[in-house]
Amino acid sequence: MISLRAVSPIASNNRFAPEPVLTPDPAMPRPKLVLASASPRRLELLEQTGLAADALLPAEIDETPQPNELPRTLAARLASEKAAAAAKIMALQPALEHSFLIAADTVVAVGRRILPKCDNHDEAEECLRLLSGRQHRVYTAVSLITPRGAERQRLVETRLRFKRLTQAEIDAYVAAGEWRGKAGGYAIQGLAGVFVVKLIGSYSAVVGLPLYETYSLLAGEGYEMLTPWLERA
């Protein structure tokens, strides 16, 4: 079952004001598009919109949650910090001047408990035990830095429920290694897809980049989205 998307608008300036939809000037060359990530899954999702990143600028930041930080707040903060860090790198590269920059972050939580991006077997097994037979939430924030230096952001909340996992399933999934570096210790686009009983929200956001929100952010800032589609005809 897939339905309903819960979305919270966030922007760095005047966060709750409606954003005007800008019309691209056909006489102007297409601005470059930079993805602040080295994630193959985010790159594939971006390409699914018909766009190709002109550059990849992964940003290394401290992703440690702050004391009592809520999962949705963490996702929004980390996406914003990734965007800011990548923008600093981009500013040192003249070829990327006046580019659009996209950054994203995904947080998995059970209640207020934020699950780690697992880097060892014990963490992965603990996450799977916690998720087994229970509902959890995935928060994915996507931040856009415009050529004018303004930040726009969207936050997507998706609710999921896993089947009750057997010990054999947990052991086999941990052995398969898909959990490495993944928030919550699983990758929905891989073997863990068979664990999902119910999903309410955005599948692409769980994978790592919400397509509707990414499209809307770029189109709302005047980035020409449809030309690549027409070029496929």
Residues forming the active site: 105
Strand 113-114 versus strand 100-110 pairing type: antiparallel
HSE at residue 116, side-chain half, CA atoms within 13 A, is: 13
Which of the 8 DSSP states describes residue 146? -
Q: How far is CA 73 from the centre of its chain?
A: 14
CB 100 within 8 A of CB 223: yes
Q: At which residue do the structure tokens 């080295």 appear?
A: 38
Closest residue by Cα to residue 141 from 86, 85, 185, 205: 205
**Would you call 149 helix, strand, or coil by DSSP?**
coil
Q: At which residue do the structure tokens 């030309």 appear?
A: 227
CA distance 215 to 154: 11
CB 56 within 8 A of CB 43: yes
DSSP codes of every residue in 182-207: -BTT--TTTGGGGGEEEEES-HHHHH
